[in-house]
Amino acid sequence: MVKSLDLRAFDEALDEDVELELEDTAMPLQIAAAYREMHPNPLPKKIYFHELLRLQAELIKLQSWVAHHKEKVVVIFEGRDSAGKGGVIKRITQRLNPRVVRTVALPAPSDREKTQWYFQRYVPHLPAGGEIVLFDRSWYNRAGVERVMGFATEDEVEQFFRDVPEFERMLVRSGIRLVKYWFSITDVEQQMRFLMRIHDPLKQWKLSPMDLQSRVRWEAYTKAKEDMFERTSIPEAPWYIVPGNDKKRARLNCISHLLSLIPYTEVEYEPITLPERVFNPDYERDVLPRDLFVPERY
């Protein structure tokens, strides 16, 4: 459900969007030229920003509907390393209330967590009524990196495949709306994005040893992904694949699709009026010491 919207009220937000998009521009000239050659038909910036702001306005309506009706939404983002999961999560949450919409990105399990029921560490992060939770990677680590890298045994992987359909059916039966996205990019595109990160000091932190191993084990990850789709795409919670070679189109397509899956409606609120400020004639504002203030360097 995406409605048309007059975006003039959002003009001031463009500076924030441009600043966010700078993450895609800091790269050596040779790599930048090669990247442009790989993407000869970029989405015009004007269209991209117009559509992004329109969709973000709809996300605000979705947020209000979820909070008002005490709905529970879980969105899982999985995919190849550097496929764009983080980028779309940033654009989804950019203008939303973090008390309603939160992102969960768990670190590697602790020694204690390794002895728990596998799904136990994820359950505390599930939404209560009126919340949306975005999982930047999820329990599907077991079907992907843990399996390919040997962090889980084949028996543990098989147990996961037996358990996860019923686990997700339980979530859906409890009233959670569960959406699962897989971001897909080509071998060549991933190689280019890794090179961009290697040569960009602002992005090098994104490259972990696991990321680098994903290049070596590309085919193993492909086989694991195909097995995962076959065994865990169920009617109650199917997988949706987002082609991610074009970052901007992937973001817009994913957000638009997510909005189409949830039957939200606009919530009517009482008009907001700004109350008059109360002035106390006996109040005198103290003069604070200068060393309490942040230096004005700009």
* pLDDT tier, 27 (very low <50, low <70, confident <90, very high otherwise): low
Instruction: Please tell me the distance from the alpha carbon of residue 64 to that of residue 73, in angstroms, as a whole number.
Output: 13
* pLDDT tier, 2 (very low <50, low <70, confident <90, very high otherwise): very low
On whether the CB atoms of residues 1 and 259 are closer than 8 A, the answer is yes
**86 contacts: CB under 8 Å, gap ≥ 6:** 136
Distance, CA of 213 to chain centre: 23
Tell me the mean pLDDT in the region 101-116: 96
pLDDT digits (tens, 9 = 90+) for 120-179: 999 999 999 999 999 999 999 999 999 999 999 999 999 999 999 999 999 999 999 999
Instruction: Please tell me the distance from the alpha carbon of residue 210 to that of residue 40, in angstroms, as a whole number.
Output: 31
Instruction: Please tell me the distance from the alpha carbon of residue 232 to that of residue 234, in angstroms, as a whole number.
Output: 6
Output the pLDDT for position 128: 98
Q: What is the largest CA-CA distance in the chain?
A: 76
Instruction: Please tell me the distance from the alpha carbon of residue 283 to that of residue 113, in angstroms, as a whole number.
Output: 56
* pLDDT tier, 210 (very low <50, low <70, confident <90, very high otherwise): confident
Output the pLDDT for position 6: 52
Instruction: Please tell me the distance from the alpha carbon of residue 69 to that of residue 249, in angstroms, as a whole number.
Output: 31
Which residues lie across from 237 on neighbouring strands?
234
- Smallest CA-to-CA distance from 10 within 49, 59, 66 is with 49
Output the pLDDT for position 100: 98
Predicted confidence (pLDDT) at residue 36 exceeds the cutoff of 90: no
pLDDT digits (tens, 9 = 90+) for 243-265: 999 999 999 999 999 999 999 99
Instruction: Please tell me the distance from the alpha carbon of residue 246 to that of residue 222, in angstroms, as a whole number.
Output: 20
* Residue 129 DSSP one-character state: T
- Smallest CA-to-CA distance from 78 within 154, 32, 137 is with 137
Predicted confidence (pLDDT) at residue 19 exceeds the cutoff of 70: no
Predicted confidence (pLDDT) at residue 53 exceeds the cutoff of 60: yes
Length, in residues, of the chain:
298
pTM > 0.75: yes
On whether the CB atoms of residues 136 and 103 are closer than 8 A, the answer is yes
**49 contacts: CB under 8 Å, gap ≥ 6:** 14, 17
